[in-house]
């Protein structure tokens, strides 16, 4: 059986879980909840970068992402940040939807699965 490693965990969640050669990244949000969609998206992607690096992975190894927006009115602005961040030669499978966030100040959240 492959070892399971949990990163930055508490009684409720782990920020990331490694099983075999796969990294599962839990929901990441921006740190400035007063920031606009551009700021929050950029900050959440920085969190993903840190978790990828800590597990020995990188953007081009991202396999799948789910992007959540509080409002689809922010879709174009979020995509501008996303397009600058993602490895366009090795893009992941992706879906994006609108959801009611746990905190109304959260505008963007991302989950990801990556190879290590």
| 2: confidence class by pLDDT, cuts 50, 70, 90 | confident
pLDDT tens for 52-110 read 999 999 999 999 999 999 999 999 999 999 999 999 999 999 999 999 999 999 999 99
Q: Where are the domains of the chain?
A: 26-115
Rounded to 5 degrees, what are φ and ψ at 2?
Answer: -70, 145
Q: How many helices (H) and strands (E) does the chain have?
A: 2, 6
pLDDT tens for 16-66 read 999 999 999 999 999 999 999 999 999 999 999 999 999 999 999 999 999
**More reliable by pLDDT, 1 or 82:** 82
CATH of 26-115, one of 3.30.70.1380, 3.30.1330.40, 2.40.40.20, 3.40.1010.10: 3.30.1330.40
pLDDT of residue 1: 65
Do the beta carbons of residue 73 and residue 107 sit within 8 Å? Answer: no
């Amino acid at each position: 059986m492959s070892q399971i490693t949990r990163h930055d965990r508490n009684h409720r969640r782990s920020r990331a879980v490694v099983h075999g050669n796969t990294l599962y990244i839990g929901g990441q949000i921006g740190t400035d909840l007063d920031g606009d969609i551009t700021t929050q998206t950029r900050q959440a992607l920085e969190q993903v970068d840190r978790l990828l690096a800590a597990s020995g992975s990188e953007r081009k190894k991202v396999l799948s992402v789910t992007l959540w927006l509080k409002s689809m009115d922010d879709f174009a602005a979020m995509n501008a940040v996303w397009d600058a961040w993602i490895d366009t030669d090795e893009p992941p499978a992706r879906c994006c939807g609108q959801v009611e966030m746990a905190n109304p100040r959260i505008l963007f959240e991302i989950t990801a699965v990556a190879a290590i």
